[in-house]
Amino acid sequence: MEVNALSKILCRLLSLLRRLAVVLLSILPVGPNRRLSLVAIRDIQLSFLILCCGLSSRIVAVNGGMTSVHTWIPRRRRPEKPALLLVHGFGGNSKWQFHRQIGPLSRFFDLYIPDLVFFGRSTSTSGERSVGFQARCVAEAMRELGVEKYSVAGVSYGGYVAFRLAASAAEVDKLVILTSGICTTAEERGETAARETRAVSEILLPQRAEDLMLLMRRSMYRPPNWVPAWLLRDFVEMMYMDHRKERLELLRELLSNGVDLHPLPLLNQETLIIWGDKDTVFPLYLAHRLLRHLGQKARLEVITEVGHALQLEKSNLVNHFIIGFIINS
């Protein structure tokens, strides 16, 4: 009897170890030709943080099987909690851009956090590169996951995608736009790019440590004074080398066509606009322009002493505004 009991315990332990191995392999960001760096270890840590918040990793095939959208989804849905979709920007993937939102927001919402196509673990064989393409892929992924109604919050490039989702997907309930130049014209985008001392692609898709440091200084009101060059190089290797050609094409399409809707439509959804008063990527006047365009269904919250990366610099306020708007308004 004791032998049988011990055998059962060992079998259960082996089963748990196999499941743990599957989880580790699913979240391990290090490819066969890459060394395990501090940035990779931090990436694994962020994955465990997400798992501890009740989410799991899922890859959803969309676009006739041509596109795979990796999404963090609730392990168990809670019918009493509204669904919230978080859409990241150009500077990374879903884990790194929203790691300060996932814990607090998961207490109030069933979170869905996709990697946009050609970011993170989302890939495609399609030649489309427009904001509309990104929005269609995310909307189809949400339908495949069976989410019938959800609010959406998008930051920067993700704000363009979120706006396009709200304009075209009937499932979108409320919209949150964080610092996104949706109302810019093609001429304004071109002039902004021309004023840069470096090519925009070198800033948004850094290849060197100094390029990434420049991006941090442009994105944050109070960037770190110093970061070791080897750590910056690790981050560049981890975050910006994969799908570089496709991301350059996404960036060119964004600069040419913006949100990919002409003329810019009015929206049916209530909309919250959140902006940093020190944003030098998309200055504050663009927030007021978007507010005027959307009219009475929109409201603006300006956070002081914060730059473009407001969800990282002042995450508590951003989380507070999102929760208050979706839950209480």
- One-letter identity of residue 262: H
Reply yes or no on whether the pLDDT at 265 is more than 70: yes
Give the integer Cα–Cα distance in Å for 126 and 128: 6
Q: Which two tokens stand for residue 324?
A: 């208050």
Q: Which two tokens stand for residue 47?
A: 């994955």
Which CA distances in Å does 33 have to 77, 91, 238, 244?
37, 23, 12, 17
Average pLDDT of span 161-172:
96
Average pLDDT of span 315-327:
97
Question: So what's the pLDDT on residue 229?
Answer: 93
Q: What is the mean pLDDT of the chain?
A: 90
Which CA distances in Å does 223 have to 41, 199, 323?
22, 21, 27
Side-chain half-sphere CA neighbours of 34 within 13 A: 19
Token pair 């979170």 is at which residue?
111
Q: Which helix (H) or strand (E) holds 298?
A: strand 298-303
- Can you say whether the dihedral through the CA atoms of 124, 128, 134, 136 is positive or negative? negative
- How many residues are listed for the chain in this entry? 329
Question: So what's the pLDDT on residue 191?
Answer: 81
Average pLDDT of span 171-185:
95
Average pLDDT of span 157-169:
96
Q: Which helix (H) or strand (E) holds 110?
A: strand 110-114
- One-letter identity of residue 173: D
Give me the DSSP letters along 27-45.
H----TTS---HHHHHHHH
Reply yes or no on whether the pLDDT at 187 is more than 50: yes
Average pLDDT of span 279-303:
96
What pTM does this model have? 0.88
Reply yes or no on whether the pLDDT at 18 is more than 90: no
Q: Domain residue spans in the chain?
A: 37-328
Burial class of residue 239 in the structure, from the number of CB atoms within 10 Å of its CB (0-12 exposed, 13-18 middle, 19+ buried) = buried
Question: So what's the pLDDT on residue 14?
Answer: 54
- Can you say whether the dihedral through the CA atoms of 102, 207, 162, 302 is positive or negative? positive
- One-letter identity of residue 163: F
Question: So what's the pLDDT on residue 188?
Answer: 84
- Pick among 3.40.50.1820, 3.40.980.10, 3.30.830.10, 3.40.50.300: CATH of 37-328: 3.40.50.1820
Per-residue pLDDT tens over the stretch 61-85: 999 999 999 999 999 999 999 999 9
Per-residue pLDDT tens over the stretch 231-243: 999 999 999 999 9
Give the integer Cα–Cα distance in Å for 115 and 130: 16
